[in-house]
Structure 1
Amino acid sequence: MNAPPAIPRLIYLLALTIFALTTAEFMVAGMMPTLAADLGVSIGQIGYLISWYALGMALGGPPLTLLLLALRLAEKSALLWLLSLYLVGAVVAALAANYPVMAAGRVLMGVASSASIGLCLTLGANLVTPDRRGRAASLILSGLMLAPVFGVPGTVLIEQQAGWRASFWAVALLAACCTLLVGLCVPRSPARAAGQLRGELDTLVSARLWAAYLTSGLIIGATFAGFSYFSPILIQVTGFAPTTIPWLLMGYGLANVLGNLLVGRLADRHTLRVQGVGLAVLALGFALFVGCADSAAPSLLALALIGLTGVALNPAMVARVMAAATPGPLVNTLHTSVITAGLAVGAWAGGAAIDAGQGLRAPLWVGLGMALLGLLSLLPLGLRRDAAIAARPCAE
């Protein structure tokens, strides 16, 4: 009798689901000028649409997960309800005739998205043996890596050919297909036990877990303080033609994938070192971009450095959280929420700096500052490790 595959095919369906959710989150970054003109707002306010989505993830995901745990719904049933709620938000955004309606749709999508990602990770962990959960989580989250490579540039190409509403409908259709496939293909799981909610809450009382959350939020916040405004910076400061933006974003996304592959190989054994080196390279990329944004070659190099780190550090972030606590639905959802809270702060701060008259390079300064704060967040861990090494008895 053949043994079951180490990584079931359903893992890739969960990755496709996260790909759809993540593409929807970031797609406005590639079509800011068009959205600003059509909705009658500034580019900074369009940047806030990323923040609104992230705010829904950060504030809405954990309470919704707690509600689902209290109702003791099985993971599959809960995910189907969440994806249905997400589709409602997607339709509202696609039909939006003004900025407030668009923002409301984005918030609703974000609320459903955060809890959906947490449940995708939990379902993936249940589909494999414990020794393969890290690999399964990395594969599921590859949907997040691939969204900048194919999803965001793809939505920009659709927007340039058929308008921004067509891009929003395309993402909604992909999410609807994923919802249908989850309903048909994912095996039915038993309802949750009565004491699971209490166990999930007890897991959160961990300083190591919250330290890991903090670094994750700063890494993603730094990245999206810049990424959210790459399109107008590359067009208006560096001088690239608007038609090149999808391809530049695709190159950035490929750097994400390459960085993710490298980090994935090292994250389990060298988690903190990978985060430290990655944050240093991320800060270097932002410093280069700030100083040379008006020159094409240095700007492209900076874009590559930010792409190779930033979001690509995700396997190290996941490995650190998994080492700090048992990754149940609430731990996973809260990690997603903390990350997106950092994203929301980064994107908001970049837009606020632009609206305050600091120019289009201002988001790059914000990204640099958050990357340096991320490095500082690792300092206590490094000091404790050095103290532990110094306290060891010397070998005779």
Structure 2
Amino acid sequence: MPFAIYVLGLMIFSMTTSEFMVAGMMSSLSAQFEVSVAAIGYLISAYAAGMIVGGPLLTVGLLKVPRKQAFLLLALLFLIGQTVGALASGYVVMMVARIITGISSAACFGVSLAICFDLVRPDSRGRAASIVLGGLMVATAIGLPAAMLFDQYFGWRSSFWAVVVLVFLSGLLGIWAIPSTSKPESASLRSELAAFGNRYLWIAYTTSMLIIGAAFAAFSYFSPILTDLTGFGPATVPLLLGMYGAATVIGNLVTGRLADRYTMRILTTGLAVLTITLVVFALSAHHSVIAVAAVIAVGLAGVPMNPAMATRITRVANTGTLVTTAHGSVISLGVVVGSSIGGMTIDAGYGLASPLWVGAALAALGLLSLLPVVRSKNNRRGSRTASAETEHCRSVGKQR
């Protein structure tokens, strides 16, 4: 893998750490801005909204900009937003900062994947995507806990400044490592938009959204589930979440190696494992051994399907920046859908285990979303078999 691939992964790690870390310092931010914890939760929603809506719009504006320059411009915009957040004196300023960073993060997500697909052969795109998207997994395993420690010992602003430094370092490395020839395949917005007329692209987007929704419906509520239902102490939960993060990193390494050759098998197997695991977890949340095994299994089989998801998108559509950015927005939508529905079921009185059932249902729907692809493959195989049989009959008839 070219070194630039790892630079792109570092940038995704830095930006994703910024996305997640607010969840780990809600109390500090609530006290700083004198607002409720729920209001701090809206800062997470604002970031996600920026990714879902603003990311693709910003990408459209950058289609005629060579990809390296687009990457650096987005890094600069994110740097500005993150700096505003680090200096924020009020809640409104922080909200603006989160929207800016969310928009630039989504666009940078798409540009980074488009660059990485340009730098490797088609049969290595899954592995390259696993390294870039690995930044997301490492942010969960290392970035979030590190940000929480910075908050505890040095104050919440130190976490924001740490991300500023990481993004600045990633940008400097990008100037040196990313080839200047990495540019859009086409500057035409029409050609980029044409890919969205492919129904199989929307089916692939739907599967990706359901996978991430299923994983985050469970992950978002691991902490209360493990303490209130399973009975672990608060001091043990960070260790268990660290195990989850390590499992996502390991799973990502494995799927990254296999995604190019076994894209659909990874998605089918991963969704089946995710569905079964969440059902078992929901039924046996009071058993500590099963709960720990389930947390690790969700880490291995959930989010690490990302490389296969990205590879599938390039095969059904193209490697265009807008297509990959829209995929990033779909993934962010999955996070919002899974965590929101999980929270609604708890508020509705269905208990802390209800998000696990939500995750299992979304994973099952993800399996169903693969049926059109399986049917299409079976139809093509049937057509090839019929054609072969016809040719065979014709040759036999000629011989007679």
- Fold shared, TM-score > 0.5 on shorter chain: yes
2:193 paired with 1:201: yes
Q: Which residue of 2 aligns with 1:13?
A: 7
CA contact (8 A) 2:16 2:139 kept: yes
| Cα deviation, residue 271, structure 1 | 1.9
Q: Which runs of 5+ in 2 are unaligned?
A: 393-400
The superposition leaves residues 131-173 of structure 1 with CA deviations (integer Å, 9 ceiling, x where unpaired) of 4333322222221222222112222232333343332332232
Q: Residues 9 and 133 of structure 2 are in contact (CA less than 8 Å); yes or no, is this contact kept in structure 1?
A: yes
Distance 1:228 1:101, change over 3 A: farther
Q: Residue 267 in 1 paired to residue 259 in 2? A: yes
Secondary structure, aligned partner of 2:236: helix
The equivalent residue for 1:76 is: 68
Matches within 5 A, 1:112-261: 112-189=104-181, 195-261=187-253
* DSSP-derived class of the 1:242 partner: coil
In 2, Cα distance between the equivalents of 1:48 and 1:372? 29
1:247-301 Cα offsets, whole Å, 9 max, x none, are 2222111111222233223322332222111111112222233223333222111
Structure 2 partner of 1:4: none
Partner of 1:41: 36
The residue that corresponds to 1:377 in the other structure is 369
Structure 1 residue 107: Cα displacement: 2.4
Q: Residues of 2 paired with 1:277 and 1:284: CA distance? A: 11
- C-alpha spacing 1:128/1:379, structure 2 compared with 1 (3 Å): closer
Q: Distance in 1 between matches of 2:345 and 2:171?
A: 38
| Cα distance in structure 1, aligned partners of 2:87 and 2:118 | 37
Q: 1:3: which partner in 2? A: none
Change (3 A) 1:231 1:176: farther
Give distance in 2, aligned partners of 1:345 and 1:217.
9
The range that moved more, 89-98 or 249-258, is 89-98
Deviations 1:163-213 (A, max 9, x none): 433323322321222123323443434776874333222222211111111
- Tell me the equivalent position of 2:325: 333
Contact 2:184 2:320 in 1 (8 A): no
Counterparts of residues 273-292 of structure 1 (less than 5 Å): 273-292=265-284
Check conservation: 1:223, 1:367, Cα contact below 8 A: yes
Q: Output the CA distance in 2 between the equivalents of 1:357 and 1:215.
A: 29
Match of 2:48 in 1: 54
Unpaired segments ≥5 residues, structure 1: 1-6
The size of the alignment, in residue pairs, is 387
Instruction: Specify the SS of the correspondent of 2:130.
Output: helix
Which has the higher Rg, Structure 1 or Structure 2? 2
Of residues 96, 101, 106, the one that matches 2:98 is: 106
Q: 1:73 to 1:385 in 2, by over 3 A?
A: closer
Preserved CA contact (<8 Å) 2:201 2:317: yes
Shift of 1:116: 0.4
Q: Distance in 2 between matches of 1:22 and 1:297?
A: 30
> Would you say the 8 A contact 1:29–1:229 is kept in 2?
no
Query: Which TM-score applies when normalising by structure 1?
Result: 0.87
Correspondence for 2:396 = none
Distance in 1, matches of 2:232 and 2:118, equals 46
Mapped to 1, the partners of 2:185 and 2:58 lie a distance apart of: 18
With over 3 angstroms needed to count, the CA separation of the structure-2 counterparts of 1:165 and 1:294, relative to structure 1, is farther
The alignment's C-alpha RMSD in Å is 2.7
